[in-house]
A and B are shown apart, each in its own frame.
Chain A
Amino acid sequence: MKVPLRFLLNGREVALEVQPHARLLDALRDYAGLTGTKEGCGEGECGACTVLVDGRAVNSCLYPALEAEGCAVLTVEGLVSAQGGLSELQQAFVEEGGAQCGFCTPGMVMSAAALLSENAAPSDDEIREALVGNLCRCTGYTQIVASIRAAAQKAGKAQS
């Protein structure tokens, strides 16, 4: 028997009917049709499914869908800028070669978005620490760290 679930998805209110044991990952992909969020390990190790719930990065594969009731959920689709283009963070991944096969990228970008919202000018160590829960099998970590550093620097310059 399905149960109702309402939450704010990328700024828009959604009302879904989900299985009680559904994961937030299932709600996003199968019920809301947003497949940008990926399932990697399904056990909270790889971070491919990372989304933000009320601003905090979580593994959506370990997050019961019903716990999102009334919350604000941000997925990689929600990072699109007001003009419809990529956000500055995503653009930095493109310019710095932060994506290879691309499977881990939505999770990497969401972890980075959570980091930059708390710490606008992170050190490389702080960037690496924020990505402990995100695995990249192409092992393009150097470019991923460079992408986040570049996005932070660009945002810093725009501010001053």
Chain B
Amino acid sequence: MAYDYHRSGSLAEAFALAARDDSALIAGGTDLLVALRKKKRAAPARLVSIRSLPELTAIEAGPGLLRIGACAPLTEILAQPVVRERLPALAQALAVIGSRQIRNVATLGGNLCNASPGADSAPPLLVYDATVELAGTGGRRELPLSEFFLGPGRTALRPGEIMTAVCVPLPVPSAQSVFQRRSRVAMDLATASLAVNYELQGGVLKSVRLAAGAVAPTPLRLRAAESWLEGRAVNEETLAKAVELARGEIKPIDDLRGSAWYRSELIGVFLSRAFRNRKEGDA
């Protein structure tokens, strides 16, 4: 498993090296180094480290938008008051990724680019309508996160492209959001997860966003259930129909973390709880 290790000195240099067949990018390395060690992935001739590039680690809060550098460590993101106050579902998700040691080095871009179906940062970012910035020698583009995941371990990144940032529009103050997940023990990957974001206006739901993790080949928006809930009042019948639609949209599998049946049950429970436990006085 011998490879050369190069700490990239600039983004331009990283773009040039990322395009080479003999090189692979490394950010926090908490997934990649384990995969190389377990030989789940062949070692490249060279690892190109991008974790210390200031352009990739900055976190900037602008009016109505939070721009998170793709290589910002999870601990740094969690330390932002704007994340805890305005993006609670994201804060809840990042806080349960790995251990403190892992969160001190693991990056948001790494969690997304790994494209695990259960990536915990994905459902909250999907319900906040986040976009990702992708760049390379060929230029820069922006993509809704919902179009970024193509399958387990597969993304819309083109060869040589690097995710440079994640842009999260800040929800209006009256919006409510929550992230729920179930795992067997602390530090385990999610068996299933669900993020929800919505507003209640005059007793009816508005701007409903639902996104699930670990129940399909990719993290995914539950658009049929969202459309059903839009404009409706929260009651048991409305929720029952939403749960039925959500269960029709997911494609859970049986594995060591849980059965497809259990995962489907979890999604139903998470969905119902997210709307039943809404804050007092909002109905």
Contact = CB atoms under 8 A, between A and B. Distances in A.
B7 A44 contact: no
B5 A132 contact: no
Nearest to A22: B5
B104 A20 contact: no
Contacts of B34: 43-44, 62
B187 A62 contact: no
A112 to B, nearest CB: 11
B5 A114 contact: no
Contact of A59 (B37, B51, B102): B102
Interface bracket on A: 20 to 34
B101 interface: yes
Contact of A62 (B5, B7, B105): B105
Interface string A126-150: 0001101110000000000000000
A100 interface: no
B4 interface: yes
A58 B104 contact: yes
Given A47-B101, A132-B99, A133-B102, A64 B30 contact: no
B99 A58 contact: no
B46 to A, nearest CB: 9
A144 to B, nearest CB: 15
B2 A21 contact: yes
Nearest to A23: B33
B231 interface: no
Given A43-B34, A44-B101, A56-B104, A62 B29 contact: yes
Given A19-B2, A21-B2, A43-B37, A132 B29 contact: no
Contacts of A132: 99-100, 186-187
B256 to A, nearest CB: 15
A68 to B, nearest CB: 11
B196 to A, nearest CB: 25
Given A42-B37, A43-B34, A44-B34, A64 B26 contact: yes
A69 B51 CA distance: 13
B26 A56 contact: no
Contacts, number: 75
A57 B51 CA distance: 17
B261 interface: no
Nearest to A54: B104
Contacts of B104: 56-58
Contact of B187 (A20, A56, A69, A133): A133
Interface string A66-108: 1101000000000000000000000000000000000000000
B191 to A, nearest CB: 17
Interface in B158-207: 186-187
A130 B95 CA distance: 11
B155 interface: no
A70 B33 CA distance: 22
B102 A21 contact: no
A42 B52 CA distance: 24
Contacts of B51: 67
A52 to B, nearest CB: 9
23 contacts: A19-B2, A20-B2, A20-B3, A20-B4, A21-B1, A21-B4, A21-B47, A44-B99, A56-B75, A58-B104, A59-B101, A62-B34, A62-B105, A63-B29, A64-B47, A64-B49, A66-B5, A67-B7, A130-B100, A132-B99, A133-B98, A133-B102, A133-B187
A-B complex: 7 closest residue pairs judged by Cβ atoms: A133-B99, A20-B5, A56-B104, A133-B101, A59-B101, A132-B99, A132-B186
Interface of A: 19-21, 23, 42-45, 47, 50, 56-59, 62-64, 66-67, 69, 111, 114, 129-130, 132-134
